[in-house]
A and B are shown apart, each in its own frame.
Chain A
Amino acid sequence: MRGLAVSVLLLVPGVALAQTAPQPSAQGDVSVTIYNNDLALIQDTRRLALANGVNRQEFPDVSDRIRPETVRLSVDGASIVEQNFDYDLLSPSALIQKAVGQTITLVRTNPATGAETRERAKVLATNGGVVLQIGNNIEVLRDDGLPVRVVYDSLPPNLRARPTLSISLDASGGGTRPATLSYLTTGLGWNADYVALFDEAKSTIDVQGWVTLRNDNNVAFTNADTMLVAGAPGQGRGGNAGMAPGTLPGTENARRARLGDFYLYPVGHRITIAPNQQKQVSFLSVGGVPARKLYQYRNDWYGSSSDPVSAATVLSFSSSKDGGLGDALPAGTVRVYIRDAKGQPQFIGENRIDHTPMGSTLAIRTGEAFDVKVKPAVEKREKINSGEWERTEKFRISIDGGKPTTVEREDEVTYWRTTMSYTVTNARPEPVTVDLVQAGLDRSYWHATRVSSESIKGEQRSLDERLWHVTVPANGSTVLTVAFDTRY
Chain B
Amino acid sequence: MRAALLLLLVLAGAVPARAQTVVTSAGPDKVSVTLYRDPNRDTQSAINRSYPQGFALITETRTVTIPAGPAVIRFEGVAGNILPESALVSGLPDGVEEKNLDANLLSPRSLFDRALGRRVLVRRTNPATGKGQLLQATLRSSADGAAVLQFGGAYGDLRCSGLPEAIVYDGVPEGLSAKPTLSVKTTAKAERQVTLTLSYLSGGFDWQADYVIAMRKDGQSADLFAWITLASTDITSFVNADTQVVAGRINRVANSNYGPRNFASASYLPLQCWPLPEYDLYTRERFAARGGPPPPPPPPAPVAPAMDIIVTGNRVAAGMMAEAKMAIAEELGDLKLYRFPTRVTVASQSQKQVGLMNKPGVKLAPVYVSDIVRENTQTALLLRGKNNAANGLGAAMPAGKAAVFSDVGGQMLLVGESAIDDKAVDEVVEFRMGRPQSVSAQVVGTRRRPDDRTTAYALTVTNDQPWPVTYEAKIHLYDYEKMARSSSRLGRKDGASLWTTVVPANGIATLSYAVRDDRKR
**A residues bordering B, Cβ < 8 Å?**
1-5, 7-9, 11-12, 15-23, 38, 89-96, 105, 107, 109-114, 126-130, 141-143, 145-155, 161-162, 189, 191, 193, 195, 198, 200, 208, 210, 212, 214, 216, 218, 271, 274-282, 293, 303-308, 310, 313, 333, 335, 338, 340-341, 344-352, 365-373, 375, 377-379, 381-383, 416, 425, 427, 475
Residue B469 at the chain A interface, CB threshold 8 Å: no
Task: List 24 A–B pairs whose Cβ atoms lie within 8 Å, in order of A's numbering.
Answer: A1-B2, A5-B1, A5-B2, A15-B170, A20-B171, A20-B174, A21-B16, A90-B148, A109-B161, A128-B275, A142-B161, A148-B161, A149-B160, A150-B156, A151-B156, A154-B155, A161-B141, A193-B85, A304-B494, A347-B57, A352-B253, A373-B427, A416-B479, A425-B426
* Contact indicator per residue, chain B 111-151, by CB within 8 Å of chain A (1) or not (0): 00111111101000011110111111000111011111011
State whether the Cβ of B327 lies closer than 8 Å to any Cβ in chain A. no
Question: B11 to chain A: which residues have CB within 8 Å?
Answer: 17-19
Once bound together, how far apart are the Cα atoms of A155 and B150, in whole Å?
9
**Given A11-B133, A19-B14, A128-B275, CB of A189 within 8 Å of CB of B57:** no
CB within 8 Å for A346 and B336 given contacts A4-B1, A91-B146, A189-B257: no
Smallest CB gap from A339: residue in B: B332
Q: Report whether B163 and A147 are in contact in the complex, using a CB–CB cutoff of 8 Å.
A: yes
Are A94 and B284 within 8 A (Cβ)? yes
User: With A16-B170, A145-B162, A350-B253 known to touch, is A93 a contact of B272 (CB < 8 Å)?
Assistant: yes
Given contacts A113-B128, A279-B99, contact A345 B258 (CB under 8 A): no
Is the CB–CB distance between B424 and A373 below 8 Å? yes
- Residues of B contacting A129 with CB < 8 Å? 275-277
Partner pick for A378 among B134, B258, B426, B495, CB 8 A cutoff: B495
CB of B349 within 8 Å of the partner chain: no
Complex contact A278–B84 (CB within 8 A): yes
User: Which A residues touch B261, using CB under 8 A?
Assistant: 216, 276
Q: Is the CB of A346 within 8 A of B246?
A: yes
B510 on the A face (CB < 8 A)? no
Which stretch (B45-53, B101-109, B311-319) binds chain A?
Answer: B101-109
Kindly report which residue of chain B lies nearest to residue A108, judged by CB atoms. B161
Chain A: CB-nearest residue to B2 = A5
Chain B contacts of A348 at CB under 8 A? 246, 250, 332-335
Min distance, Cβ A311 to any Cβ of chain B, angstroms: 9
In the bound complex, CA of A113 to CA of B121 (Å): 24
Residues of A within 8 A of B113 (CB): 218
Residue of A153, A281, A305 contacting most chain B CB atoms (<10 Å)? A281
- Contact (Cβ within 8 A) B334 A370: yes
Q: Please tell me if B157 contacts chain A, counting CB pairs below 8 Å.
A: yes
B32 within 8 A of A: yes
At the interface, yes or no: B273 with Cβ under 8 Å from chain A?
A: yes
Contact B14 A91 (CB under 8 A): no
Cβ distance B271 to chain A, nearest Cβ, rounded Å: 8
Q: How far is the CA of A11 from the CA of B4 in the complex (A)?
A: 13
User: Min CB distance, B482 to chain A, in Å?
Assistant: 7
Cα-based distance from A372 to B157 in the complex (angstroms): 68
Residues of B within 8 A of A338 (CB): 332-333
Partner of B421, one of A21, A114, A307: A307
Q: Which residues of B contact A (CB under 8 A)?
A: 1-4, 7-8, 11, 14-16, 32, 34, 36, 39, 57, 59, 84-88, 95-105, 113-119, 121, 126-129, 131-136, 140-142, 144-148, 150-151, 153-157, 160-163, 169-175, 199, 201, 244, 246-253, 255, 257-258, 261, 266, 272-279, 283-285, 330, 332-337, 396, 421-422, 424-427, 479, 482, 492-496, 518
Residues of chain B within 8 A (CB-CB) of A333 are: 85, 253, 255
**Nearest-Cβ distance from residue A291 to partner chain B, whole angstroms:** 12
Inter-chain contacts of B248 with A (CB < 8 A): 310, 367-370
Residues of B within 8 A of A271 (CB): 98
| Nearest A residue (CB) for B424 | A427
* Chain A residue with the shortest CB-CB distance to B476: A304
CB neighbours of B421 from chain A (8 A): 307
Of the candidates A2, A23, A151, which one forms a contact with B154 in the assembled complex, judged by CB atoms under 8 Å apart? Answer: A151
Complex CA–CA separation, A349 to B128 (angstroms)? 65
B398 to chain A, nearest CB (A): 8
Contacting pair B131 A276 (CB below 8 A):
no
Q: How far is the CA of A5 from the CA of B331 in the complex (A)?
A: 66
User: Do A1 and B104 have beta carbons less than 8 Å apart?
Assistant: no
With a cutoff of 8 Å between Cβ atoms, the chain A residues found around residue B493 in the complex are: 377
Question: A184 → chain B, closest Cβ, in Å?
Answer: 17
Closest-CB distance, A91 to chain B (whole angstroms): 3
Q: Inside 8 A of B330's CB, which chain A residues have their CB?
A: 340-341
Q: Is the CB of B284 within 8 A of A18?
A: no
Do A347 and B36 touch across chains, with their CB atoms under 8 A apart?
A: yes
Other-chain contact of B275, A93, A110, A200 (Cβ < 8 Å): A93
Knowing that A23-B117, A90-B142 touch, tell me 8 more A-B residue pairs with CB under 8 angstroms: A18-B171, A90-B141, A149-B160, A280-B87, A280-B98, A335-B201, A377-B494, A425-B426
Known: A17-B170, A21-B174, A310-B422. A91 touches B250 (CB 8 A): no
Cβ contacts under 8 Å, B146 to chain A: 91
Known A279-B100, A427-B427; contact A382-B156, beta-carbon cutoff 8 A: no
Contact A19 B253 (CB under 8 A): no
Q: Is the CB of A277 within 8 A of B104?
A: yes
Q: Using Cβ atoms and an 8 Å threshold, which residues of chain B touch A276?
A: 102-105, 261, 266
Known: A89-B141, A277-B104, A313-B334. A425 touches B1 (CB 8 A): no
